[in-house]
Amino acid sequence: MPKLSPVMTPDEFLSLADNPDFIEGIYNYCDRWCERCPMTHRCLVFASTPTEENVESGSVEEKQQAMMRQVEASFQLTIELINKFAAEQGIDLNEIAKDETPVLERKKLRKEMEKFPLTRLAKEYIDNTQHWMNNLDEIALAKDLELQQAHVLQLPGRDPNRELEELKNAMDVVHWYCFQINVKLTRALMSRSSHVEFEDEDEPFPKSSDGSAKVALIGIERSIGAWGVLLQHFPEQEGSILRVLSILSRLLRMTEAEFPDARGFHRPGLD
């Protein structure tokens, strides 16, 4: 397993945060796909997140596992920062921890959001995607043999390397956004329902819910494109792929109807 780089100390993080080159809040409304982001050099979270060597060439599963280890390391840094600030302000975190009301209320709110038609449809997309991926081995093997034959025979009009790269990219996109769409939609609904968003008729403040919904819309649209590529390469799977595309299309329309201002949300450094 690749070795995780050392976790930054709170003092190192605070020193780094003073760098004016970082764009404030750029990390709040991104899709967390750092290896495909052209703005990582302006992102404080990316700069402070421990990395692993040789992850870029690994499988999607290896990349996801690496990402989880990075999240755990970032969580460790966050806890240390909270403890540092609490100590400086004379706040007893143990006393705060005794009050479970905020945690219980958030869990209750999340349960309520899971009942929304939007999140139920997002969950349906996850189930259909996982079912398709779990039954991919046989057709993937057949496709691999087809590409090998096309390469050996040098068939006119075929570029096996390009086709393989298209397939890999499409699969990566489907994997990456499969769960994230539901997460972002749930976050958008929770943000809107928790009454933490600012309302000002004279100077409207961007709504966090619209920002999360916009990230979900981006994931949905990219997933639709990826499934379109898979349909081209696996025409024998037309029925199941069209079923998934139908779910995504409905999810797109429902998200736009639920958050009509989401596309107009300006994501710092990204839009």
Measured CA to CA in angstroms, residue 198 lies from 204, 208, 243 at distances of 8, 9, 39
- Phi, psi dihedral angles at 215 (to 5 degrees): -60, -40
Average pLDDT, stretch 166-170?
88
Measured CA to CA in angstroms, residue 31 lies from 26, 92, 129, 265 at distances of 11, 35, 19, 15
Residue with the bigger pLDDT between 57 and 116: it is 116
Are residues 125 and 88 part of one domain?
no
What's the number of domains the chain is made of?
A: 2
Are residues 92 and 164 part of one domain?
no
> Domain end: 38, 70, 98, which one?
98
Question: Which residue in this structure is represented by tokens 């979900």?
Answer: 216
Task: Give the separation between CA 128 and CA 227, rounded to whole angstroms.
Answer: 12
Are residues 21 and 124 part of one domain?
no
> Domain end: 63, 98, 133, which one?
98
Average pLDDT, stretch 181-204?
73
**What was the pLDDT predicted at 195?**
55
Task: Give the separation between CA 196 and CA 227, rounded to whole angstroms.
Answer: 36
Task: Give the separation between CA 212 and CA 31, rounded to whole angstroms.
Answer: 10
Assigned domain for 105 exists: no
Highest mean pLDDT among 5-14, 57-66, 157-166: 157-166
Identify the domain containing residue 256 by its residue range: 112-264
Confidence of residue 200 (pLDDT cuts 50, 70, 90): very low
pLDDT digits (tens, 9 = 90+) for 248-268: 999 999 999 999 999 999 999
Are residues 254 and 192 part of one domain?
yes
Report whether pLDDT(126) > 80: yes
> Domain end: 32, 64, 98, which one?
98
Are residues 127 and 87 part of one domain?
no
